Amino acid sequence: MPENVRVLVALSGGVDSSVACALLVDELGADAVVGATLRLWGGASDSGCCSVADVEDARRVADRLGVDHHVFDFAEDFEARVVTPYVEGHAGGRTPNPCIECNRHLKFDRLLARARRLGFDALATGHHARRAPGPDGRWRLLRGADPAKDQSYVLAMLGQDQLARCLFPVGEKTKAEVRQLAAHRGLPTAAKPDSQDVCFIRSDEGRAGFLGDRVPLHDGRLVDHGTGADLGPVGAVELVTVGQRRGMGHGTDGRRRFVTAVDVPGRRVVVGPPEAARCTGVVLDTVAWVDGPVPAGAAVLAQCSAHGPARAATVHPETAGAALAVRFARTERRVAPGQTVALYDPDRPESVLGSGVAR
């Protein structure tokens, strides 16, 4: 890394960002590194990266490493860009991914812009992903070295402008190595569990409690995918997700039913056998490319969840608008509207091509 570089580190209060900060201090010196924690959620939180305890953990890490630490209040933007779309999405029968939208709008937009205004050369995070220059000098976004912790999926909306100014110091390390480094440096987050849930939803309220405080939840009816027959009641259609099988009962053949569609205005949840929950493709909106769009008909690997397998597919730009049709090589499980599909290069499966949000 060039001399006299100054880096702002997004300290979430977790072990990964703590070690990212430590590695940069080792490389650049404490004077070149500053920690920043985002105050995103004004409500109560007991999980994720939004609690008061997380801010305190980040401060303790900064103190241990001898770096300055700031707290930036982005709560208003978080409410507008992440929480409100999450609520509205569920109210419309969609299943948004708030962590990805937080990355898109807060960490790699507003925070990155703040870093530049404050004179920092780069923003570093604790994501398990890598970036590397290609032969043409353009940046590539790569999977993290630890397959079990790879987070390239939640970063697949990043483009050249962001990648040119971002660092992922733990991307070359496994999670075990990260924890070992944290313990060796005496960081207070060394044994802290990973966050698992949506950070602004308390464990004692769940999605039902959180959404129920903000929008009306409506009972509905289960409808058979093939015959249209009424199969009985279902609670809170706004909480049901395409592809869900839990709580959907069994068919006459004894097999569990899967959700194939959610119709919130009609108060209907369409369910069917496993084969009905499969599809030949998905249309994506909010399409973003790491280094420009790929040609129509290009082969890709499509990953439809954070840790799901990447499936062979081809991409076909829609003639109307900026949407992208992804056609699977063979039928796959339906993608819930609102979920992100990350696209990878089949010739270099570790390399991200781009992403979009399922229509």
Residues 42 and 73 both lie in one domain: yes
Res 48: pLDDT: 54
Q: What is the mean pLDDT of the chain?
A: 94
pLDDT digits (tens, 9 = 90+) for 123-141: 999 999 999 998 899 999 9
Average of per-residue pLDDT across 168-173:
98
Q: Is 102 a catalytic residue?
A: yes
Residues 328 and 180 both lie in one domain: no
pLDDT digits (tens, 9 = 90+) for 66-80: 999 999 999 999 999
Res 249: pLDDT: 84
Is 310 inside any structural domain? yes
Binned at pLDDT 50, 70 and 90, residue 321 comes out as low
Is 162 inside any structural domain? no
How many CB atoms neighbour CB 98 within 10 A? 20
Q: Which two tokens stand for residue 286?
A: 């909010």
Query: Going along 76-188, which residue ranges are E strands?
Result: 122-124, 129-133, 139-143, 166-167
Residue type (1 letter), 201: I
CATH number reported for the structural domain that contains residue 267 in this entry: 2.30.30.280
108: helix, coil or strand?
helix
CA 310: distance to chain centroid? 16
Angle at alpha carbon of residue 229, lines to 226 and 234, rounded to 5°: 105
Binned at pLDDT 50, 70 and 90, residue 197 comes out as confident
Residue type (1 letter), 283: V
How many CB atoms neighbour CB 87 within 10 A? 19
Residues 287 and 265 both lie in one domain: no
Res 196: pLDDT: 73
Res 318: pLDDT: 81
Average of per-residue pLDDT across 17-37:
98
Residues 264 and 299 both lie in one domain: no
Burial of 334 (0-12, 13-18, 19+ CB in 10 A): buried
Average of per-residue pLDDT across 328-353:
97
Residue owning tokens 């990043």: 158
User: Do 99 and 154 contact (CB within 8 A), yes or no?
Assistant: yes
Range of the domain at 222: 216-272
Q: Which two tokens stand for residue 218?
A: 């409506």
Is 153 inside any structural domain? no
Dihedral sign for Cα atoms in the order 179, 181, 184, 186: negative
Q: Is 49 a catalytic residue?
A: no
pLDDT digits (tens, 9 = 90+) for 15-24: 999 999 999 9
Residue owning tokens 């241990």: 64
Residues 334 and 226 both lie in one domain: no
Q: What is the count of structural domains for the chain?
A: 3
Res 52: pLDDT: 75
pLDDT digits (tens, 9 = 90+) for 79-99: 999 999 999 999 999 999 999
Residues 62 and 177 both lie in one domain: yes
Binned at pLDDT 50, 70 and 90, residue 309 comes out as very high
Res 166: pLDDT: 98
Res 3: pLDDT: 72
Residue 50 has pLDDT above 90, yes or no: no
User: For residue 87, what is the enclosing H or E element?
Assistant: helix 84-91
Question: How, if at all, do strands 139-143 and 129-133 pair?
Answer: antiparallel
Residues 40 and 173 both lie in one domain: yes
Rounded CA-CA distance 16/127 in Å is 7
Residue owning tokens 């839990």: 246
Residue 46 has pLDDT above 90, yes or no: no
Q: Which has the closest alpha carbon to 237: 275, 260, 266, 194?
A: 266
Res 108: pLDDT: 98
pLDDT digits (tens, 9 = 90+) for 211-253: 999 999 999 999 999 999 999 999 999 999 999 999 888 887 7
Q: Which two tokens stand for residue 48?
A: 């994720």
Res 1: pLDDT: 75
Q: Which two tokens stand for residue 71?
A: 């707290």
Residues 310 and 252 both lie in one domain: no
Residues 176 and 50 both lie in one domain: yes
Among 21, 49, 99, 102, which one carries the catalytic annotation?
Answer: 102
Is 313 inside any structural domain? yes
Res 66: pLDDT: 98
Residues 236 and 305 both lie in one domain: no
Binned at pLDDT 50, 70 and 90, residue 198 comes out as confident
* Three state DSSP letters for 235-271: CCHHHCCCCCCCCCCECCCCCECEEEEEECCCCEEEE
Rounded CA-CA distance 343/153 in Å is 9
Res 250: pLDDT: 82
CATH number reported for the structural domain that contains residue 77 in this entry: 3.40.50.620
Q: Which of 6-20, 30-44, 330-344 has the lowest mean pLDDT?
A: 30-44
User: Do 8 and 34 contact (CB within 8 A), yes or no?
Assistant: yes
Q: Which two tokens stand for residue 215?
A: 């929008």
User: For residue 115, what is the enclosing H or E element?
Assistant: helix 112-117
Report in angstroms the alpha-carbon separations of 50 from 102, 109, 115: 12, 18, 20
327: helix, coil or strand?
strand
Domain stops at, among 249, 272, 295: 272
Res 36: pLDDT: 98
Average of per-residue pLDDT across 171-182:
98
Among 21, 49, 50, 199, which one carries the catalytic annotation?
Answer: 199
Res 219: pLDDT: 96
CATH number reported for the structural domain that contains residue 339 in this entry: 2.40.30.10
Dihedral angle of Cα 334, 337, 338, 343, to the nearest 10 degrees: 40
Rounded CA-CA distance 285/326 in Å is 11
User: Do 145 and 172 contact (CB within 8 A), yes or no?
Assistant: yes
Residues 337 and 310 both lie in one domain: yes
Q: Which two tokens stand for residue 214?
A: 């903000």
Residues 59 and 178 both lie in one domain: yes
Q: Which two tokens stand for residue 113?
A: 């812009």
